[in-house]
Structure 1
């Protein structure tokens, strides 16, 4: 029976193996490496030990709810404009040149809600620009209104349904429209017009359910508790002059409502 190695003998043998180039301890029996896996065995917690905490999930705030709270906190139009311009969840603000809030006279009897800015409006920083602005002024003048009028009776106030140009002037994402809708509702409430005119196909689709502008134009509806009239935009009339007859009828209906009649 062999005697057990003492410490110094075992140490001498180990030093000799290292000098010979051995760099790994081997088992007494061969190891089948084909059966090995990288799976680490599950550790069973000791009795009474607290379970390890799982990964922490950070819930992203609902952008619509955040927009609603932010808009409702604005006491006036100036504060609302600042809140909209700095609203981080809307990515459109990063790609547009201008923040287009409104134009005309706040407190006017008539408020126009327009399609989102396109290239000319983005460059000018106004809700309507170029030939469309010229035609709009003529349309309003035909029924005694003007965006430049000093008195609320004849004045017009206007704002787009989105304050930033959409890249490529494409159709807006419904998520962006839903996100910014609380700001628009607050805008109408603070401007407090007697009548709202929904001007343009995008504005109509964003604000009224039940069909497109061609089906809904000229029919009085309600928005934020106020009478609202969908009509063609100046840009549409420039591209489709034949529609000017219908636009004139809609303008006369607006004048009748403002004069105290029912159109």
Structure 2
């Protein structure tokens, strides 16, 4: 028998698929017809005078509206600014005024944190997504709902936990933050952890684990193992685990995640004793 061909998806179904995949913004103002003959040259404008030589471009192409800061100067400025913040509110105000990271100029708003600043456990992911960018709170989309169910399973909710990201602004199109962007934002999340001063730090996913715990191992090898996170004034127990977004794509790893959650609950109980 001739197999029945699959029905052609409707425009609404295609748009829903693209949105689910994170494709929710255009990279150019004008549409590009990729079916045109590649051998036909596009019309060219009059050649402008040659510009002076410029430094080499950053590894990740900048999108419209992004401004590339000098990496070393931006990192040094971030370290100095973060160091001077005496409170979480002051740190948030510094981030609002900080212009050293290009992501700020393409994001809708700053995504600083959610939950209880007095909590004994702090969860840190990589960067905000589309829903977080719109609401200004971390972990409010599908992965956020899963995180809520995960921590509820060990008797926690957002009133008993503090949640943040290494990167406080959404990268355009949910692209991966560049190493430069991570290094610029790192002093702020490090100061945030120091000010919250939790008993247990949970890094969600590979990027936040490698950035905060200074390991090159992948999440499969690092998850479930306890690390020491030194704030300079105190050593905090830290446990890497899978990011909820990864669990949505690979639900078979939820069993390992549950083991990590049980270890977190046990550590919190021991520190309270």
Normalising by structure 1, report the TM-score.
0.72
The reply on whether 1:123 has 2:134 as its aligned counterpart is yes
Within 5 A, what are the aligned runs for 1:134-173?
A: 134-148=145-159, 155-173=160-178
Within 5 A, what are the aligned runs for 1:180-219?
A: 180-208=185-213, 209-219=215-225
| 2:33 matched residue in structure 1 | none
Counterpart CA distance in 2 for 1:76 and 1:174 is 27
The reply on whether 1:91 has 2:102 as its aligned counterpart is yes
The reply on whether 1:73 has 2:78 as its aligned counterpart is no
Counterpart CA distance in 2 for 1:197 and 1:123 is 25
Deviations 1:179-217 (A, max 9, x none): 111111110111111110001222123223131111111
Cα distance, 1:141–1:63 mapped onto 2, change above 3 Å: same
What SS class does the counterpart of residue 270 from structure 2 fall into? coil
The reply on whether 1:248 has 2:258 as its aligned counterpart is yes
- Structure 2, unmatched stretches of 5+, are 1-69
2:77/2:100 contact within 8 Å kept: no
Q: CA deviation at 1:61?
A: 6.7
The reply on whether 1:63 has 2:68 as its aligned counterpart is no
Q: For structure 1, which segment, 199-208 or 116-125, has the greater mean C-alpha deviation from structure 2 after superposition?
A: 199-208
Q: CA deviation at 1:253?
A: 0.7
Counterpart CA distance in 2 for 1:249 and 1:198 is 15
Within 5 A, what are the aligned runs for 1:14-33?
A: none
Q: For structure 1, which segment, 204-213 or 86-95, has the greater mean C-alpha deviation from structure 2 after superposition?
A: 204-213
Q: CA deviation at 1:86?
A: 1.4
Structure index of larger Rg:
1
- Structure 1, unmatched stretches of 5+, are 1-58, 149-154
2:139/2:145 contact within 8 Å kept: no
The alignment yields a C-alpha RMSD, in angstroms, of: 1.6
Q: CA deviation at 1:130?
A: 2.2
Cα distance, 1:72–1:121 mapped onto 2, change above 3 Å: same
2:202/2:240 contact within 8 Å kept: yes
Counterpart CA distance in 2 for 1:60 and 1:193 is 31
Q: CA deviation at 1:60?
A: 9.2
Counterpart CA distance in 1 for 2:171 and 2:189 is 17
Q: CA deviation at 1:101?
A: 0.1
| 2:246 matched residue in structure 1 | 236
Normalising by structure 2, report the TM-score.
0.69
